[in-house]
């Protein structure tokens, strides 16, 4: 038999189609065309809250973020190479609370001497006495032993970072718009810088560390009470150099800094400190002859 196979099952003969015949039976005729395959449905969308790159950003991935140098770090560790010392530098803004914390040294302290912070009762007694009685009554440390800190802190506030030729962002005299960039007024900036350069300024630095134990053991990390020193400089460059040397060589903190106008400090006036928002404000004449204009 053609295309059939005889198989024996239970001592009887059966006729079944051959495998070749089965395959041929299911195959289309050579001259006929196979029906087109149906279109597959699109894949389901991604679940909510899990966007894909293409769905969120398009076919091209976003560019990488800029290097870290474009970001302003308000606190960072700086290695001072000549002195092989790490310094913790911060650039946070200073406020009136910070000024009040060190006002006692700015008002009653002398330069180049170390002091411990007096108690509140002692400061109140000083403020209630006559000027002639308390000028020399803030006691300094007779045997100061300032500890060299392993990692000192330097607070580089606006007083240390603002140059005298800082830009004036808003025009103060209605100059034409085409004479200066949109971000600053060049005539106003130049005028303020010239006036500020002719003004005598006082840069006040508050250095801090700890009083070493007695007897002093070299390399010991045991610290006593905090002690403070007042430094005055006549320029920003001198103030930055002093802070750099104090932190790098001596290992002392720069705890606070501010700028006053010479002749308006606590040596000449006995009023309250009045904060100014801009350094160039100190170049203007002040009608108030009592209070002390301070930039920090």
pLDDT top residue among 26 and 207: 207
Instruction: Give residue 12's pLDDT.
Output: 47
User: Residue 196's pLDDT band (boundaries 50, 70, 90)?
Assistant: confident
- Per DSSP, the three-state class of 138 is coil
C-alpha distances in angstroms, 221 versus 13, 40, 114, 215? Answer: 106, 74, 20, 13
Instruction: Give residue 87's pLDDT.
Output: 96
Around Cβ 290, how many Cβ atoms within 10 Å?
11
Instruction: Give residue 147's pLDDT.
Output: 92
Where in the chain are the domains? 78-161+199-295
Determine the distance from the C-alpha atom of residue 104 to the mean position of all C-alpha atoms in its chain, rounded to a whole number.
Answer: 28
Instruction: Report DSSP state, residue 273.
Output: E
277: left (phi over 0), alpha (psi -120 to 50) or beta: alpha
Residues in the chain: 296
Question: How much is the pTM?
Answer: 0.68
Q: Do the Cβ atoms of 239 and 160 come closer than 8 Å?
A: yes
- For residues 27-64, one letter each, b for 16 or more C-beta atoms within 10 angstroms of the residue's C-beta and e for the rest, the string is eeeeeeeeeeeeeeeeeeeeeeeeeeeeeeeeeeeeee
Instruction: Give residue 223's pLDDT.
Output: 64
* 150-170 confidence digits (pLDDT tens): 999 999 999 999 998 776 666
User: Residue 124's pLDDT band (boundaries 50, 70, 90)?
Assistant: confident
- Contacting residues for 213 by C-beta, under 8 A, at least 6 apart: 220, 222, 223, 224
User: Residue 127's pLDDT band (boundaries 50, 70, 90)?
Assistant: confident
Instruction: Report DSSP state, residue 283.
Output: G
- Per DSSP, the three-state class of 228 is strand
* 24-50 confidence digits (pLDDT tens): 444 555 555 666 767 777 777 655 554
């Amino acid at each position: 038999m053609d295309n059939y196979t005889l198989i024996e099952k239970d001592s009887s003969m059966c006729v079944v189609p051959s495998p070749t015949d089965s395959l041929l039976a299911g195959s289309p005729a050579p001259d006929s065309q196979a029906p087109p395959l149906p279109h597959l449905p699109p894949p389901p969308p991604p679940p909510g809250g899990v966007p894909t790159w293409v769905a969120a950003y398009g076919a091209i991935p976003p560019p990488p973020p800029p290097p870290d140098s474009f970001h302003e770090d308000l606190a960072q560790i700086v290695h001072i190479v000549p002195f092989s010392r790490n310094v913790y530098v911060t650039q946070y803004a200073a406020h009136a609370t910070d000024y009040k914390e060190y006002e006692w040294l700015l008002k009653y302290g002398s330069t180049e001497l170390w002091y411990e912070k007096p108690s509140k009762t002692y400061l109140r007694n000083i403020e209630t006495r006559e000027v002639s009685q308390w000028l020399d009554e803030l006691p300094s440390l007779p045997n100061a032993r300032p500890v060299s800190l392993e990692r000192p802190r330097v607070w580089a506030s606006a007083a240390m970072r603002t140059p005298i030729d800082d830009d004036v962002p808003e025009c103060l005299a209605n100059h034409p718009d085409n004479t200066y960039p949109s971000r600053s007024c060049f005539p106003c900036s130049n005028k303020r810088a010239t006036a500020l350069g002719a003004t005598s300024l006082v840069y006040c630095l508050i250095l801090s560390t700890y009083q070493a134990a007695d007897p002093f053991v070299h390399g010991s990390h045991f610290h006593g009470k905090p002690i403070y020193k007042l430094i005055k400089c006549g320029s920003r460059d001198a103030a930055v150099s002093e802070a750099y040397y104090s932190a790098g060589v001596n290992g002392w903190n720069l705890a606070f800094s501010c700028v006053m106008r010479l002749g308006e400090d606590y040596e000449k006036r006995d009023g309250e400190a009045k904060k100014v928002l801009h350094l160039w404000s100190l170049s203007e004449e002040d009608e108030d002859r009592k209070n002390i204009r301070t930039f920090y």
